[in-house]
Amino acid sequence: MGEFVRLEIADGIGTIRLERPPMNALNTQVQEELREAALAAAGDDAVRAVVVWGGEKVFAAGADITEFTTVSYQHMVGRAAALSGAFDAVARIPKPVVAAVTGFALGGGCELALACDWRVVADDAKLGQPEIRLGIIPGAGGTQRLARLIGPARAKDLIFSGRMVEAEEALRIGLADRVVPADRVYATAVELVKPYTTGPALALRAAKQAVDAGLSMDLAAGLALESHLFAGLFATDDRVEGTTAFVEKRKPKFTGR
């Protein structure tokens, strides 16, 4: 698909593969290719779940800082929204998405992992938001998604200090969902999302939308959204199949329609 980011599809799983050696630095080109891959995964019915994978050695060690040394405020005013939008494209994939994190996930790399539904992390991986050490703050969702995931106090600790978090602490504070040996990260990520490749795609889409959108609403609005999405699923073939299979005491065969 792109020079540094490609979408590989096998057995219902789309792998968004970053490959910009040595550290998968997320320069402007990588960001745009990431957006394209996310949109392709979202729109392809053959993709029922997604793994974001940086390879066996590193997930992504952050933005390409060489691009920051001479950039002006005027330029970044226009560029910042596009940067955030590339990660939003991953967050908005209406399918289960897991980050397979090896090596470093720092700065933009951590923000990319935060844009996924889950994070499978290598036992020797390191995650963090070190932007403060450059005199800036996270600019692609780090201050928002991290606080929602692990709570504001812990998020402030990581963002204010810029320190790196090892896998054990990441698991303890909720930044990681599973910690496994490095050579098992990708396989474990695939195992995590594999069941969803034969699940009710429209119901999974609705569930993700309800949870994610509900986080930015008050309870009454969130409940109204949930009710709307719940009712809409009664127009799907999978609802008919799921309820019928339950009554007939058999395993449902969902088609994603």
Annotated catalytic residue within 61, 63, 100, 167: 63
Which residue in 12, 62, 108, 141 is the catalytic one?
108
Residue 131 a catalytic site member: yes
Name the residue type at position 23.
M
* Per annotation, catalytic residue among 14, 131, 140, 142: 131
Catalytic residue among 111, 139, 189, 206: 111
* Residue 63 designated active-site: yes
How long, in residues, is the chain?
257
Query: Residue 257's CB: how many other CB atoms inside 10 A?
Result: 12
3-state helix, strand, coil in the chain (%, to 5): 55, 15, 30
Orientation of helix 28-43 relative to helix 73-91, angle to 10°? 30
The sign one gets for the Cα dihedral 172, 56, 97, 187 is: negative
108 noted as active-site residue: yes
Bridge pairing between strands 178-180 and 118-122: parallel
CB–CB of 96/50 below 8 Å?
yes
| Three-class secondary structure assignment of 2-55 | CCCEEEEEECCEEEEEECCCCCCCECHHHHHHHHHHHHHHHHCCCCCEEEEECC
Active site residues: 63, 108, 111, 131
